[in-house]
Structure 1
Amino acid sequence: MKAPARFLPLHASLLTLLLALPASAGAAEAPQHLRLGYDVYVGGLKLGRMTLETDIKGEDYRVSVAAEAGDMLARLIKWSYTAEAEGAFGGVHGVAPRHFHSLRTLRDKSWDATLSYTAPYGARDTAVGFSQTPPPSPEDADAVPLDQRPGTVDLLSAAAAISRHAEGGDCASRLPVYDGRRRYDVVMESRPGRHIEKSDYTVFAGDAIGCHVAIVPVAGFKPAGRGSQNFWTAAPDGKPRGFDLWIGRPVPGGPVVPVRLEAGELFFTHVVGHLAQVEVMPPRP
């Protein structure tokens, strides 16, 4: 029972770090409301399906994600994760989040969390509020000092800013993130692009922009221990944890989105994420 559970923190991290919002509004007729499905494989075994839905109206964005354990894990453990973020492009970090909400379940427990942001949106001193049901433990509640929370963004909004920046073909960017439990920077660096062929694993075919994603801990990270090597622990060697990501345009005239992910430094095995489904949705009313 314990072994599959070890992969769940990685699954949640890939869920959020894999995702990025469309980079620019583009032409009026271009599809701006997409539903994307990602399959994640660990050591060649399918871990599960993650779904991303994005919607852009002018400078406003909304993104929602959902994931649950695949058949292999579902037989052993009940786990699911959903989250939604909304805000507007702009501000000192490229995005000004307004609201973030997530629901995480594991076996018979659940955690319902909300991040709220007060005006002026996008300012360096934007206040960030956090609440959770059930409330976090005193240790977790104080893990990130109050003076390190203002001016940060949620992780999905950070992905939105990174993707818009990457539209120009350069991934280099750095975003300060506070997720309610940890404070860290998401650092993107450019890597060589690659041509991806359509296969039984992916629906994408074409050239993709190469990026490297790293998580730089600031506060709230516990030292990695035996059986807890994941993105949300501090690596023993002090180096930031990360993975390689390729971003492409699966719909002609549409936005750029992640199309492939590779990580080989965790669990001593290889992790691969494929874009397995693309659906153009009707505009929201």
Structure 2
Amino acid sequence: MNPARATRPAILATLAAAALVAFLPAPALAQPVAATYTVHAAGLTVMELNAAVDITEAGYSVEFRTRLRGVASAFGSGELVTRVDGVWQGDAARPRRYTSEGSLRGEPRRTVLEWPGGQPAIRVMVPPNEAERLPVPDAEQRNTIDNLSAIAQLIRQVRRTGRCDGGVRVYDGRRLSSMAATTQGRDAFPAARDEWSGVALKCAFEGRFLAGYRRDEDLEVARRPQFGTAWLAEPAPGQPVVPVRVEAASRWFGTLTARLASAGPPGRLRPVGSQASN
């Protein structure tokens, strides 16, 4: 089995759940937030992740841009861009359109989902899902949302409660999974060059794949839960709270650590760390 084919989607899904599981928009005024993260494994940079979140009282949009770097780029090339736009129905996210576009080892990949009548419908799927994965039964797809809408829903919950507890079932057109997060107090990070320092909220998360497994993977391994931790704080005084560090286990690269490199309004990102404040 090709490690890249089995691992890259799992890594991205785990980081997505962790890296933005509790983005906090500014409490007094809804405004977009952008952040850049570098992802490390065994001391090497393997990925860059750019995130943008815009949550208002009426609706939301979330976008991830990921790019493999260093040794990990041998497993794939290009950029993966995932985006969703949706509205709120009470406390629940209701996605309208979800897109994911990129490439894996030079092969184009594209997914487009819409929600007519509130249920997911695949509009575009490249390559066809049947060739790669076991189908997710229609009954299991009902009353699910995409992973980015799940993130937006948790964001909104954290904004209102100040905690990151919650759980949802998500479907991205290929896989069905569950996400859950719990609050675990606060940790302090000492000052370090080019790294954020201060006291951050600690959130544990767990992800489980429920259906849509790859046809060539070990189902016992695929069903094992994936665990991680995210720490959230203000990148600088007065800025909206964002994850400042995320740690997640992967099956091929060991522990992945995502560190906040810059944050701020879109187009006005500012580096974090002791060097940036000098």
TM-score of the two chains, using structure 2 as the length reference: 0.81
Q: Pairwise mapping of residues 117-136 of structure 1 onto structure 2 (< 5 A)?
A: 117-119=115-117, 126-136=118-128
In the other structure, the counterpart of 1:262 is 247
User: Which ranges in structure 1 are unaligned for 5 or more consecutive residues?
Assistant: 120-125
C-alpha root-mean-square deviation of aligned residues, in Å?
3.0
In the other structure, the counterpart of 1:123 is none
User: What SS class does the counterpart of residue 71 from structure 2 fall into?
Assistant: helix
Distance 1:213 1:76, change over 3 A: closer
Matched, 1:174 2:173: no
In the other structure, the counterpart of 2:276 is none
Amino acid in structure 2 at the alignment position of 1:279:
G
Task: Give the % identical residues.
Answer: 24
Contact 1:223/1:235 (8 A) holds in 2: no
Aligned residues: 265
In the other structure, the counterpart of 2:96 is 98
Deviations 1:97-135 (A, max 9, x none): 11111103012211111111124xxxxxx2111133435
Contact 1:153/1:176 (8 A) holds in 2: yes
Deviations 1:48-98 (A, max 9, x none): 211001223333211111111113334674242111111124446x31211
Distance 1:4 1:254, change over 3 A: same
TM-score of the two chains, using structure 1 as the length reference: 0.80
User: What SS class does the counterpart of residue 164 from structure 2 fall into?
Assistant: coil
TM-superposed CA distance for 1:195, in Å, is 1.7
In the other structure, the counterpart of 1:191 is 184
In the other structure, the counterpart of 1:27 is 28
Distance 1:201 1:88, change over 3 A: farther
TM-superposed CA distance for 1:39, in Å, is 0.6
Q: Pairwise mapping of residues 22-61 of structure 1 onto structure 2 (< 5 A)?
A: 22-24=23-25, 26-28=27-29, 32-61=31-60
Distance 1:165 1:245, change over 3 A: same
Structure with greater proportional helix content:
2
User: What SS class does the counterpart of residue 48 from structure 1 fall into?
Assistant: strand
Amino acid in structure 1 at the alignment position of 2:162:
G
Q: Which has the higher mean CA deviation after the structures are superposed, 43-52 or 5-14?
A: 5-14
Deviations 1:187-214 (A, max 9, x none): 1122232123453353x33322211111
Deviations 1:157-198 (A, max 9, x none): 111112222343322211110111111111112223212345
Counterparts of 1:10 and 1:219, CA distance in 2: 13
User: What SS class does the counterpart of residue 281 from structure 1 fall into?
Assistant: coil
User: Which ranges in structure 2 are unaligned for 5 or more consecutive residues?
Assistant: 269-278
Counterparts of 2:73 and 2:224, CA distance in 1: 33
In the other structure, the counterpart of 1:122 is none
Distance 1:261 1:129, change over 3 A: same
